[in-house]
Amino acid sequence: MIMMETKLQRRQFFCLAALTVFGGTLAANELLERAVPKSAKLYSAMDNALGEHFISQLDLSTQELQQLKTPMRGHTALALDQHTALLFGRRSASTSVRVNFKTGLLESFKSRANRHFNGHACLSTDRTLLFTSETDYANKRGIIGIRELATLKQVAEYESYGLDPHDLQLMPDGKTLVVANGGIETHPDFERRKLNLDSMQPSLVYLELSTGKKLAEYRLPDHLLSIRHLQVSAKGEVAVALQYEGNLYKQQPSSLVAWQQVGGELNLLKIAPQEVAQLRGYLADIVYDPKQQLLVSASPRGHCVSIWSTATHSFVQALPLAEASSISLGSEVDSFLVSTSQGSLYQLQTTTNQARLTELKHLPELAWDNHLMLLA
Amino acid sequence: MIRFRWQGQGFSANCWLLALCLVNPSFADSTATLISTTKDEVFIQQLVTKGIQPLYRDLEQASLQLTQASAEFCKEVSSDNLTKLREAWGTTLLAWQRTDSLLFGPAVAEQLDFQINFTSPKKQVIKGLLASEQPLTTEAVAAAGVGAQGLSSLEYVLFERTQTPEQLVASFDEAAGKIRCSYLQAVSSLLEQNIKKLTTAWTKPDAVNFFTNNQEAVDLLIGKAYQSLERINLKKLTQPLGLLDANKLSHPYDLEAWRSGYSFKIIKANIEGLQHVFVEGGFLAWIDKNFPSEATKTAVAAFEKQLNELVQIKLPEGDPFTLVEQQYTSTELNELLQRTYGLEMGVKRQLAVLAKAQLGFNDNDGD
């Protein structure tokens, strides 16, 4: 474990060796009620033990779980209101859906010919346009599909200026998109096979929303670090969760999180080699708490949740959690929600001198997918 | 008509035998996350020389005989030679399917696996090639892409279900038959070349260096075994049988190798290959030795027993396409379903956990 350098971190995490997944002394239901406001709902893609795919809405106050079966495995859910949500098909699905949990209605929409969805999307500030990350596999290029939210009809598309655009988010100015080009070439004929690992070139690209013009592009020194998931702060800082495509048995990545201050370079956060090894080269999701200046990431391969400080630009600690898959900010101050593909939902508290994971709910035989969206 | 019965919710005790009869290892065990750098040279040597190389040597031999059978058939187009050619094709297909749990390293480099067996074949591409006025070469077939290469493309031209064998033979003997034969021979020859590349990679003296350490061997063998079993259950059985179909419709065209009737035989071949690698390759014994506990001992013994029994089971009688199309069920089919699913769960819930292999719903192939 690396030494902590700030008072903040010492205060919060001095007892690292003792950290583990704590069982709560309160009943899970009681904790759940305390953890969330009355109307909070959690959205995610899920699979059951039979391999069927769903979009799920978990009402955190009543604990009522609603699930609608979907024709594809989804990746990210985007809640539009208390009843309606979008779920975007995971690479290499050509289908995404809009669902209404009140009516049970499911409406599919497709990518254009020779394109597939890559699992992520964002809305324009006025919530009239939907931007989806897609791949034009016939021409080996990344695409940002643009659809009217009301009709879901595609009205335009932009190039992403890289292969394999994955996560994309709207910057706080409302005029700029930031796109994580993972850099990996795939083709549906070859299922999910990665075809260009030797030559992959991931990039973080900023696009002008109104024209699609490339405003800036950033790369990391190691081309095997796939830039995949993003978290944009209200100030316009960007956190990047990475996935290493090299052979982990021979070489570990130098880090798995990058951070870009407004107007600054894209820099890797520091982590010791023995610490990065436990993450198994793969971060599935990332979230930022600006108050604590902490990034928290789920690492299903490393069976842990990792915490990073943007104040010190370094890794802080990892908490063991089997198959941690997705993460969102919690409703309580200094809290996060973490799900696992073993069906559990945890609350992560980082306010005390120990970061603490407490199980809130367990859904047997259900697997949470890699992203959570909390609609409070 | 007896319809398939969905077994998913109500799997019998037999189905869950492997998955649930054992001590359930805690997932906390899987949180030991640092990669071990130890390499057991004796184990890796046995794995490669006794577990992996024999499967590829058999495949290479089969593909050589397939090329010869193609040449014989085109030299003398006859029903007898078609039968021999089909048998040679079947032998090669089954030999390939025995390597299904070895889809890593050389097999996936340059997408060799897709060049050897890409399903479903791209019919329009093949028809385009067959419309050529010049005899086809291996270069022309290679340039047409994986959809016109390999075992499933050969199946397409050798097992046309709308034609009798006599009509099929005639199609190779007519004016256009020369082009058809040139395609057959080019595909067979290219297939043999690709298989030779693969066999050479695994049989060269330094092949043991492919595995960097024990952890890589564990992760690959268990991960790929799981993916192979998952393919069996989801793609080769559940999907074509329509077991998750809301309208309870079966999908016989989703069966792999439906044209030739090998759809169930390939599943057995998948298991035979898995058994060979895990037992003859010494992998189960190595797990037993290196993760000593009662749970490991029980799991390893149960897994080996399941493998041995599964390779002995009687397959459903009759043509798989017809059985699935007409939704006939049988004791044999239910047993195949239950046992392969039990084996998949055994890998996921027992072996992967006990051997600390990297496996899971969300991390299996990344996103």
**What letters, b where the CB count within 10 A reaches 16 and e where it falls short, cover B305-327?**
ebbeebeeeebbeebbbebbbeb
Contact A321 B31 (CB under 8 A): yes
Instruction: For residue A77, list its beta bridge partners.
Output: A87
Cβ atoms of A70 and A54 within 8 Å: the answer is yes
Q: What is the pLDDT of residue B31?
A: 46
**Whether the predicted pLDDT of A32 surpasses 80:** no
Q: Does A247 touch chain B (CB under 8 A)?
A: yes
| pLDDT (tens digit per residue) in A241-256 | 999 999 999 999 999 9
The Cα of B360 is separated from the nearest Cα of chain A by a number of Å equal to 7
Residues 6+ apart with CB under 8 A from A340: A300, A321, A322, A323, A324, A325, A346, A368
Instruction: Give the distance from CA B81 to its chain's centroid.
Output: 26
Assign A23 a pLDDT band (cuts: 50, 70, 90). very low
Answer whether residue B29 is part of any domain.
Answer: no
Domain finish residue from B146, B170, B205: B205
Burial classification of residue B38, based on how many CB atoms lie within 10 Å of its CB (0-12 exposed, 13-18 middle, 19 or more buried): exposed
- Residue B31: closest CA among chain A residues belongs to which residue? A303
Cα separation of B326 and B330, whole Å?
12
Q: For A346, left (φ over 0), alpha (ψ -120 to 50), or beta?
A: beta
First to last CA, chain B: 43
Q: Are residues B179 and B309 in the same domain?
A: no
Cα separation of B268 and B97, whole Å?
9
- Residue B11: closest CA among chain A residues belongs to which residue? A50
Per CB-CB distance under 8 Å, the chain A contacts of B362 are 284, 300, 323, 325, 341, 367, 369-370
Q: What is the pLDDT of residue B9?
A: 37
Burial classification of residue B205, based on how many CB atoms lie within 10 Å of its CB (0-12 exposed, 13-18 middle, 19 or more buried): exposed
Contact A325 B244 (CB under 8 A): no
Q: What is the pLDDT of residue A154?
A: 97
The Cα of B330 is separated from the nearest Cα of chain A by a number of Å equal to 22
Q: Are residues B260 and B277 in the same domain?
A: yes
Q: For B210, left (φ over 0), alpha (ψ -120 to 50), or beta?
A: alpha
Q: Are residues B103 and B132 in the same domain?
A: yes
Cα separation of B251 and A69, whole Å?
20
Rounded (5°) CA angle A156-A120-A223: 100
Identity of residue A37: P
Q: Are residues B59 and B175 in the same domain?
A: yes
The Cα of A2 is separated from the nearest Cα of chain B by a number of Å equal to 16
Answer whether residue B341 is part of any domain.
Answer: yes
| pLDDT (tens digit per residue) in A197-214 | 999 999 999 999 999 999
- Residue B359: closest CA among chain A residues belongs to which residue? A301
Out of B33, B35, B146, the one facing A303 most closely (by C-beta) is B33
Q: For A365, left (φ over 0), alpha (ψ -120 to 50), or beta?
A: left
- Residue B33: closest CA among chain A residues belongs to which residue? A278
Does a cis peptide bond (omega within 30 degrees of 0) precede residue A254? Answer: no
The Cα of A173 is separated from the nearest Cα of chain B by a number of Å equal to 28
Q: Are residues B226 and B141 in the same domain?
A: no
Out of B28, B213, B238, the one facing A322 most closely (by C-beta) is B28
Answer whether residue B6 is part of any domain.
Answer: no
- The enclosing H or E element of A356 equals strand A356-362
Q: Does A362 touch chain B (CB under 8 A)?
A: no
Q: Are residues B331 and B223 in the same domain?
A: yes
Token pair belonging to B115: 């060049």
| pLDDT (tens digit per residue) in B106-152 | 999 889 999 999 999 999 999 999 999 999 999 999 999 999 999 99
Out of B28, B234, B362, the one facing A300 most closely (by C-beta) is B362
Q: What is the CATH number of the domain that holds B268?
A: 1.20.120
Answer whether residue B304 is part of any domain.
Answer: yes
Question: What are the residue ranges of helices labelled H in A100-256?
Answer: none
Q: Are residues B135 and B99 in the same domain?
A: yes
**Whether the predicted pLDDT of A107 surpasses 50:** yes
- The enclosing H or E element of A346 equals strand A344-349
Q: Does A286 touch chain B (CB under 8 A)?
A: no
Out of B27, B33, B360, the one facing A304 most closely (by C-beta) is B33
Answer whether residue B31 is part of any domain.
Answer: no
Query: Region A273-286: what's the mean pLDDT?
Result: 95
Contact B358 A193 (CB under 8 A): no
Nearest to A181 by CA among A167, A169, A196, A170: A167
Cα separation of A286 and A240, whole Å?
8
Contact B367 A300 (CB under 8 A): no
Token pair belonging to B315: 């397959």
Lowest average pLDDT, out of A181-190, B189-198, B332-341, B350-359, goes to: B350-359
- The residue whose two tokens read 């749990």 is B101
Token pair belonging to A78: 């985007």
**Whether the predicted pLDDT of B7 surpasses 60:** no
Cα separation of B207 and B218, whole Å?
17
Per CB-CB distance under 8 Å, the chain B contacts of A19 are none
- Residue A250: closest CA among chain B residues belongs to which residue? B212
Pairing relationship of beta strands A314-320 and A176-181 according to DSSP bridges: unpaired
Q: Are residues B158 and B182 in the same domain?
A: yes
- Residue A252: closest CA among chain B residues belongs to which residue? B35
Nearest to B349 by CA among B104, B17, B8: B17
Answer whether residue B16 is part of any domain.
Answer: no
**Whether the predicted pLDDT of B182 surpasses 60:** yes
Q: Are residues B69 and B184 in the same domain?
A: yes
Residues 6+ apart with CB under 8 A from B167: none
Out of B108, B146, B367, the one facing A75 most closely (by C-beta) is B367
Out of B28, B35, B367, the one facing A277 most closely (by C-beta) is B35
ipTM above 0.85, yes or no: no
Answer whether residue B10 is part of any domain.
Answer: no
Does a cis peptide bond (omega within 30 degrees of 0) precede residue B120? Answer: yes
Count Cα neighbours of B24 within 13 Å in the Cβ-side half-sphere.
6
Contact B31 A303 (CB under 8 A): yes
Give me the torsion for CA of A148, A152, A153, A156, rounded to 10°: 50
Query: Region A347-365: what's the mean pLDDT?
Result: 89
Contact A50 B146 (CB under 8 A): no
Work out how many domains chain B is built from and give that number.
2
Nearest to A55 by CA among A106, A93, A91: A106
Contact A189 B147 (CB under 8 A): yes
Q: Are residues B157 and B238 in the same domain?
A: no
Q: What is the pLDDT of residue A26?
A: 44
Cα separation of B233 and B336, whole Å?
10
Q: What is the pLDDT of residue A292?
A: 95
Query: Region A341-359: what's the mean pLDDT?
Result: 90
Q: What is the CATH number of the domain that holds B185?
A: 1.20.1420.20
Cβ atoms of B263 and B252 within 8 Å: the answer is no
Cα separation of A143 and A181, whole Å?
10
- Angle between the B294-310 and B331-346 helix axes, to the nearest 10 degrees? 150
| pLDDT (tens digit per residue) in A57-100 | 999 999 999 999 999 999 999 999 999 999 999 998 999 999 99
Q: What is the pLDDT of residue A50?
A: 82
pLDDT above 90 as % of chain A: 83
Per CB-CB distance under 8 Å, the chain A contacts of B215 are 249
Q: Which domain holds residue B171?
A: 54-205
Domain finish residue from B162, B182, B205: B205
Query: Region B60-72: what's the mean pLDDT?
Result: 98
Out of A249, A322, A370, the one facing B216 most closely (by C-beta) is A249
Q: Does A370 touch chain B (CB under 8 A)?
A: yes
Per CB-CB distance under 8 Å, the chain A contacts of B366 are 243, 282
Q: What is the pLDDT of residue A34?
A: 55
Contact B28 A300 (CB under 8 A): no
Residue B6: C-alpha distances to residues B245, B326, B336 (Å): 10, 16, 13
Domain finish residue from B187, B205, B223: B205
Contact B244 A52 (CB under 8 A): yes
Answer whether residue B111 is part of any domain.
Answer: yes
Q: Are residues B65 and B191 in the same domain?
A: yes
Q: Are residues B149 and B116 in the same domain?
A: yes
Nearest to B67 by CA among B174, B256, B196: B196
